[in-house]
Structure 1
Amino acid sequence: MSSSLIAPLRLMLLDDHEVVRRGLELLLSQETYFEVAGSFTTSHDLFAALQKERADVLVVDYSLGPAEVDGLNLIRALRVRFPNEKILVVSAHYNAATVALAMKAGAKGFVGKAQGHKELVSAIRAVALGKTYLSPEMALEIAGGKDESPSVLTDERALTQDVKLSPREREVLRCYLDGMSVSQIAAKFSRSITTISAQKSAAFRKLGIRTDSELFKIQHLLEGK
């Protein structure tokens, strides 16, 4: 069959950082058989576009602005409203806990923003074929395959390695670490300030910390860095 008869993969991009989004748009539009059908800064605009036309793969950021539907809620909403579109998350929130939750919510793949261009292209092609995509290292980490001796664990890592935060508690901490206030997080997820405060407090208890400064000190551990 002539290559001219092969339909390109239609992609839609979502990222609220214009430089990142424009960079992705430029890189992906230069790939053979890729077509960037839409590039959006808000989840609302992405949903509106999907009402009118299809896409093979949605390349979406995990963390958007305070007023946006993002994270697990975005993935779940896309899966319910547009079940035929495949979701690939590309995010700086690249840690085993977040990746595992995103995949469970319905994402077909997850690539960190620090990963290379070739890995992103490979991920898009795999997801478009109906496969799941994770780097071998991330897949191993999620499966619990990292071989770390307890003797080399710091006190901070020992504090966080076995903590079982709920998905909502992780989302609250993620937003809080991104600079959002409790009231902004409550508005974002359509919950009461009391509920968000309770979830934050519950996460603090599980982590064994008491103050915001202690939370920021272990941020790199919570994010898998």
Structure 2
Amino acid sequence: MPSLSVPLVVVDDHPMVVLGLRTLFHQRPEVEVVAYAHDAAAALAACREHRPRVVILDVALEGSPIDGFALCRRVRAEIASVEVVFYTGREEIGIANQAFAAGAHGVVSKADASSDLLRAILLVSRGKTYTSPVFAARAEATEFGDLSPKQLAVLRHLAEGRDRKEMAQRMGIGEETVKTHLAEVRRKLGARTSAQAVAIGLLNALFDPAAAP
């Protein structure tokens, strides 16, 4: 019978952080740490060997030739099934946007409760996104260009996990029109993927996730 735990690789250059996460995850049956790494080379090797579902990654990786953003792009390029959650002590403006642009689906502050990190892991393992409230409060005020009401509606439906067919039925438009709206949403938000578009939308409060279109 296959394990229901989410396999993780944890990457952080601070031994005390790794020790803390080791203790946290050891007590949680929802996750299983398959490898720990302290630098980019070891992280890549661990991901290639273990093929985890989620990688927990710090932004700063002292002693590595690349930072966490570059490592995220390399991991995602090599193993498309891997999702990345950044777990960082940096809280300056723009960090979350950089993380999502690199291909991550989650960003958690080290100042957050451990339950927030676990929630982020479980959400991204199911293809969802998570942004720490710390980063939402520091969201970069970027001029994205105006999204039309239809495009905002599409973005909300996307955040709720609906596919193009469902969106078309709910909005009373054709699937090709939905596809066009999605392309425009990604273009205006500077997102490469639909998941990134949702994350940027949530991060910058472009829509109310609780409001049904």
TM beyond 0.5:
yes
**Is it true that 1:112 corresponds to 2:109 in the alignment?**
yes
Deviation at 1:21, TM superposition (A): 0.7
TM alignment of 1:43-122, pairs within 5 A: 43-122=40-119
In structure 1, how many angstroms separate the alpha carbons of the residues matched to 2:116 and 2:132? 8
Distance 1:22 1:68, change over 3 A: farther
Structure 2 residue ranges without an equivalent (≥5): 143-213
Match of 1:13 in 2: 10
In structure 2, how many angstroms separate the alpha carbons of the residues matched to 1:51 and 1:71? 17
In structure 1, how many angstroms separate the alpha carbons of the residues matched to 2:5 and 2:38? 23
Contact kept? 2:39, 2:63, Cα under 8 Å: no
1:79-127 C-alpha deviation (Å, 9 max, x unpaired): 1112210000000112330111111110110001111111111111111
Distance 1:67 1:136, change over 3 A: closer
How many percent identity over aligned positions? 29
Contact kept? 1:94, 1:111, Cα under 8 Å: no
With normalisation by structure 1, the TM-score equals 0.58
Equivalent residues, number: 142
TM alignment of 1:76-225, pairs within 5 A: 76-136=73-133, 138-139=135-136, 141-142=138-139, 144=141
Match of 1:165 in 2: none
**Is it true that 1:22 corresponds to 2:19 in the alignment?**
yes
Deviation at 1:141, TM superposition (A): 4.1
In structure 1, how many angstroms separate the alpha carbons of the residues matched to 2:95 and 2:133? 16
Contact kept? 1:42, 1:68, Cα under 8 Å: no
Structure 1 residue ranges without an equivalent (≥5): 146-225
1:43-97 C-alpha deviation (Å, 9 max, x unpaired): 1111112222210110011101143321321121111112210000000112330
Aligned Cα RMSD in Å? 2.0
2:23 aligned partner, one-letter code: L
In structure 2, how many angstroms separate the alpha carbons of the residues matched to 1:121 and 1:143? 25
With normalisation by structure 2, the TM-score equals 0.61
Which protein is bigger by CA-based radius of gyration? 1
In structure 2, how many angstroms separate the alpha carbons of the residues matched to 1:67 and 1:14? 12
Match of 2:154 in 1: none
1:19-51 C-alpha deviation (Å, 9 max, x unpaired): 111111110121122111001111111111222
In structure 2, how many angstroms separate the alpha carbons of the residues matched to 1:64 and 1:106? 17
